[in-house]
Amino acid sequence: MEDQEKYEIDEEPESAPGYRTYEVYQRERVGETTNLIKPRELISDSYLHDPYPLVGLLRENYPCYRDWLGNRFWITRYDDVTSVFTDDRNYQTRTKTWFYGLQDYGKNLWNEISVQKAFESNVDEHIAKITGEALLNWDRDGFDLAVDFCAEIPLRLWGAILDISDEELNRFVPLFWRMQRGSGWNPIRRKDGLAAVEEMEALLDPIFSKRRNDPSTDFISAIAQVELTDREISTTDLVVTILELDHETLHGGLSNLWFNLLQNPDEMGKIHDDPRMLKYAWLETLRYTPPVLSAKRFTKTEVERFGRLLPEGSLMMCSAAAANRDPRQFNNPDTFIVGRKDLCQREPRGQYRADGLPSGISFGLGKPSIHPAVPKERPRSLYAIVRDCAVTASSMLLEKKPNIKLIDQSSPELKSLLLEEIHTCWELKVSS
């Protein structure tokens, strides 16, 4: 046993001075156990289909749930979720490029006012025309509102914003879709997504070079004209900006809006009575059925919140699905009510309570703006642009097909195809 004595004294590293050995262990009491839920349920097929009962259970019983299997804390109450989103000092957002390991690949230029303006003006200019084209397919065999309208419009819109040819758009769409799906947890898709990033760069590179020398009013030209302080702008910056912007809320939100309206004739009636109610139907859709179910944040330092000491680097799974149905904020939260009185009806730009009322969480917004009013020269927020897009497209659909209804015996459903992907309706067969 001499050896043991010797090694215990000689071989162990000495702790550095000031090294903290005190533990952040927190005693859990018997009453605080989480036996109403198994962590495996949060990665189950039933969560993919209907996450609301599960996250509701968390919200009402374990508002800061330590999920051992997924090594994360689930935050599920409205006030708690927004408190994380607005606290940039303590929580960090990791972007899609981060998860791809492409931190040095390119720069997301969305914060450039000129880029936002180009995006806004191109969307505004093209949305009506694109919707009209999508509706031309109405009589085509097997027309599916979810696919041929809700999913197609955002993709066609990208074609118009980028001002690329039909042939280029046909190549762009699958690359875009692969790139988006690849940033998740599935390494098979990730490899595929990384390949798509490269192919996307190859596709856009000649267009980018051309517009850099000979700019027009499109989105690519706007990006090509941005001046960076440290280096030349390049196609990689364009690809990263497209990757981070994505189309999930417009696609998923549009599909969920029609899913909700077609299944709730009374609410649809409100829109027939006054088409201006469509905007409120959209806002209520984002509250009642947000397509992006949750957003991730990571603690920058050890921080005490929600009655727990959260270690540095902890993953906070902020559940929009749970927060948006928090009865502390919304009456009858599990009912789809167009024009509900307890939902903020203005555009949240950073804050969630523009009128002192909560808005549906569907975008992970940052800390509140310090400006008392939105400066005039700034474009509308992405939230508002997407909302207006959805409302315009939906108004046109309703105008053209006022008697739109679900095909008899069809029972559409919302689901995510994979964990952490959008929760939306993938098949919506309708007739007029």
Partner 1 sequence: MPKISFETRGNSLGVNEDVNGAQRKFPHMPIGQAVDMGFTSEGVPLIDPRIFDSGEFGRNPYPYYRILRDHYPVYYDQLHNCYFVTRYDDITESYFDEIGFNTIPKGSSSGVLGNTQLELSGIEHRRRRNIYGRHLVGAALTKRLHALEQIADELISEWWLSANPKEVLINNETGTATIELGKAFANEFPISVVAQVLGIPQEARQQFTWWYDAMMSGLGGSETHHEGLEARQDLEEYVEDLVDQKRNAPTYLTDEAGNNICLDIISELCNSEIDGDVMSTEEITSFIALVVGGGGETTRGAIMNLWYLLLQHPNQFKAVRSDSGLWDTAFHEMLRHSTSIGGQPRHNTNDLTLHGVHIPAGSLIHMVDVSANHDDRIFANPEDFNIFREDLYSGKILRSGHAKEGKCSHMAFGVGPHLCPGAWISQQETVIGSKILDKTLGNVRINYERMPKDIDGVSLAPIGLGSIRELWLDFDLPN
Residue 426 structure tokens: 């993938």
Asked if 304 is part of the footprint of partner 1 (rule: CB under 8 A), the reply reads no
Stretch that binds partner 1, among 21-29, 205-213, 264-272, 386-394 (CB under 8 A): 21-29
Nearest-angstrom CA–CA distance, 105 and 100: 10
Q: How far apart are the first and last CA of the chain?
A: 87
Residue with tokens 């192919």: 199
Q: How far is the CB of 110 from partner 1 (least distance, A)?
A: 23
The identity of residue 308, as a single letter, is R
Residues 343-382, interacting with partner 1 (CB under 8 A)? none
Cβ closest to partner 1, residue 47 vs residue 78:
47
The identity of residue 145, as a single letter, is L
Cβ closest to partner 1, residue 197 vs residue 343:
197
Asked if 22 is part of the footprint of partner 1 (rule: CB under 8 A), the reply reads yes
Stretch that binds partner 1, among 66-74, 204-212, 275-283, 376-384 (CB under 8 A): 66-74
> Using CB under 8 A, which of 221, 314, 329, 381 touches partner 1?
314
81 within 8 A of 323, measured Cβ to Cβ? yes
**Pattern 401-430, partner 1, x by CB under 8 A:** ----------------xxx------x----
Task: Note every long-range contact of 405-411, with CB atoms under 8 Å and residues 24 or more positions apart, other chains counting.
Answer: 405/262, 405/430, 405/431, 405/432, 406/262, 406/263, 406/430, 406/431, 407/431
> Using CB under 8 A, which of 111, 136, 139, 166 touches partner 1?
166
Residues 36-55, interacting with partner 1 (CB under 8 A)? 37-40, 43-45, 47-48
Asked if 170 is part of the footprint of partner 1 (rule: CB under 8 A), the reply reads yes
> Using CB under 8 A, which of 11, 214, 227, 273 touches partner 1?
11
Q: Number of residues in contact with partner 1, rule: CB under 8 A?
A: 83
Q: How far is CA 386 from CA 92, 127, 282, in A?
A: 25, 11, 10
Residue with tokens 């760069």: 201
> Using CB under 8 A, which of 56, 58, 59, 72 touches partner 1?
72
Stretch that binds partner 1, among 183-191, 350-358, 363-371, 374-382 (CB under 8 A): 183-191
Asked if 311 is part of the footprint of partner 1 (rule: CB under 8 A), the reply reads yes
Q: How far is the CB of 230 from partner 1 (least distance, A)?
A: 21
Stretch that binds partner 1, among 164-172, 204-212, 216-224, 268-276 (CB under 8 A): 164-172
Dmax over CA atoms of the chain, in Å, equals: 90
| C-alpha torsion sign, points 175, 181, 184, 185 | negative
Which residues in 333-350 are b (16+ Cβ under 10 Å) and which e?
Answer: beebbbbbeebbeebbbb
Element housing 99 (H / E): helix 96-100
Q: How far is the CB of 350 from partner 1 (least distance, A)?
A: 26
Residues 191-250, interacting with partner 1 (CB under 8 A)? 191-193, 195-196
Asked if 128 is part of the footprint of partner 1 (rule: CB under 8 A), the reply reads no
Asked if 68 is part of the footprint of partner 1 (rule: CB under 8 A), the reply reads yes
Q: How far is the CB of 76 from partner 1 (least distance, A)?
A: 16
235 within 8 A of 207, measured Cβ to Cβ? no
Asked if 152 is part of the footprint of partner 1 (rule: CB under 8 A), the reply reads yes
Beta bridge partners of 416: 423
Q: How far is the CB of 245 from partner 1 (least distance, A)?
A: 18
For the CA atoms of 287, 288, 293, 294, the dihedral, rounded to the nearest 10 degrees, stands at 40
398 within 8 A of 162, measured Cβ to Cβ? no
> Using CB under 8 A, which of 105, 110, 298, 306 touches partner 1?
298
Cβ closest to partner 1, residue 16 vs residue 373:
16
Q: How many CB atoms lie within 10 A of CB 351?
A: 16
> Using CB under 8 A, which of 88, 113, 125, 187 touches partner 1?
187
Asked if 110 is part of the footprint of partner 1 (rule: CB under 8 A), the reply reads no
